[in-house]
Structure 1
Amino acid sequence: MIVAVREAGLTHVKCFAHTVNLASQRALKIDRVNRLLKKLRTIVVFFHRSTVANALLKQKQGMLQLPDHKLIQDVSTRWNSSFEMVERYLEQQPAVLSVLMSKDVRKTEKDVVLYETDLSNAEDLVVVLKPMKTITTILCDEKQPTISLIFPLKHQILQLMQVIEGDTAFVRDIKEAIIQDINKRYIDEEDYLLLTSAVDPRFLSLPQLDDERKLAVFSSLITKAATLVNSDKIMKVKQEPDDGVATRKPELPELPGPDLNQDKAPAVTPVTVKQESSAMEELFGDVFVTHVQPAKSTLQLLEEEVSVYKGEECIPLLCDPLEWWCENQYRFPLLPRLAKSLLCIPGTSVPSERIFSTAGDIVTAQRATSSCDHVNMLIFLKKNLKQ
Structure 2
Amino acid sequence: MLQSIMNAMPRLGELLSEINELDLLYNVDCNLLEEMVRILKPFDEATKLLSWGKMPTISLVIPTKMKLKRCLEAKEEDSEIIKKVKWKLSETLDEKFQIDVIHCVGTILHPKMKGFVKQCLGEETFETTKLQIECILNNITGPNSKKDSTSSNDKSNERVREDQSEFLSDVMIDCEAKDSEEDEDELTFYLNSKYSNRFPDPLIYWRQNSSLFPNLFKVAKSVLAIPATSIASERHCSCTGKNLDERKQFLTEDSLNSLLFIQNAMKGASD
TM-score above 0.5: yes
Corresponding residue to 2:25 among 112, 120, 124: 112
Is residue 2:119 matched to residue 1:204? no
User: 1:87 deviation in Å?
Assistant: 4.3
TM-score normalized with structure 1 length: 0.53
Deviations 1:299-354 (A, max 9, x none): 66695322221234456599221122111111112200111110111111111111
Kept in 2: contact 1:83–1:129 (CA 8 A): no
Provide the C-alpha distance between the structure 2 equivalents of 1:180 and 1:371, rounded to a whole number of angstroms: 49
Structure 1 residues 216 and 368, CA gap change in structure 2 (3 angstroms) = closer
How many angstroms does 1:195 deviate by?
1.2
Partner Cα distance (2:197, 2:6) in 1: 30
CA drift at 1:212: 4.6
CA distance in 2, matches of 1:350, 1:318: 26
Larger radius of gyration: 1
Q: State the partner residue of 2:173.
A: none
Q: Contact 1:222/1:303 (CA < 8 Å) preserved in 2?
A: no
Matching of residues 1-387 of structure 1 within 5 Å? 82-89=1-8, 93-101=9-17, 105-113=18-26, 118-144=29-55, 146-185=57-96, 187=98, 190-206=100-116, 207-230=119-142, 298=144, 303-314=184-195, 319-384=200-265, 386-387=268-269
Q: Number of paired residues?
A: 231
Aligned letter for 2:7? R
Cα distance in 2 for residues equivalent to 1:132 and 1:318: 27
Distance 1:372 1:107 in 2: 59
Kindly provide the amino acid, as one letter, of the partner of residue 109 in structure 1. L
| SS of alignment partner, residue 141 of structure 1 | coil
In structure 2, the CA distance between the partners of 1:359 and 1:300, relative to structure 1 (3 Å rule), is: closer
Residue deviations 1:240-289 (CA, integer Å, cap 9, x gap) = xxxxxxxxxxxxxxxxxxxxxxxxxxxxxxxxxxxxxxxxxxxxxxxxxx
CA distance in 2, matches of 1:157, 1:314: 26
Offset of residue 119 of structure 1: 1.4
Shift of 1:162: 1.7
* Unmatched tracts of structure 1, length 5 or more: 1-81, 231-296
For 1:223, the aligned partner's letter is C
Structure 1 residues 202 and 330: CA distance shift in structure 2, 3 A: same
CA change 1:133–1:160 in 2 (3 A) is same
CA distances 1:187-215 after superposition (whole Å, capped 9, x unpaired): 4x522211111111232121423345434
Q: Which letter does structure 1 place at the counterpart of 2:33?
A: A
**Aligned amino acid, residue 381 of structure 1:** I
- Aligned mates of 2:65, 2:83 — CA distance in 1: 19
- 1:69 alignment counterpart: none
* Secondary structure at 1:334 match in 2: helix
Contact 2:56 2:225 in 1 (8 A): no
Structure 2 CA distance for partners of 1:132 and 1:186, relative to 1, 3 Å: closer
Shift of 1:96: 4.2
Shift of residue 161, structure 1, vs aligned partner: 0.9
In structure 1, distance between residues paired with 2:133 and 2:184: 10
Q: Do the aligned partners of 1:202 and 1:317 also contact (CA within 8 Å) in 2? A: no
1:163 is paired with a residue of what secondary structure?
coil
Residue pair 1:163, 1:175 contacting (<8 A) in 2 also: yes
How far off is 1:121 after superposition? 0.4
The structural deviation recorded for 1:377 is: 2.8
- Contact 1:196/1:342, CA 8 A, preserved across alignment: yes
Q: CA deviation at 1:95?
A: 4.6
C-alpha spacing 1:170/1:329, structure 2 compared with 1 (3 Å): same
Distance 1:329 1:198 in 2: 16
The superposition leaves residues 108-135 of structure 1 with CA deviations (integer Å, 9 ceiling, x where unpaired) of 33323455xx011012112111111111
**Of 105-114 and 308-317, the range deviating more from structure 2:** 308-317
Return closer, same or farther for 1:359/1:171 CA change in 2, 3 Å cut-off.
same
Q: Deviations over 1:12-66 (max 9, x none)?
A: xxxxxxxxxxxxxxxxxxxxxxxxxxxxxxxxxxxxxxxxxxxxxxxxxxxxxxx
Q: Residues 186, 361 of structure 1: CA spacing in aligned structure 2 closer, same or farther, 3 A cutoff?
A: closer
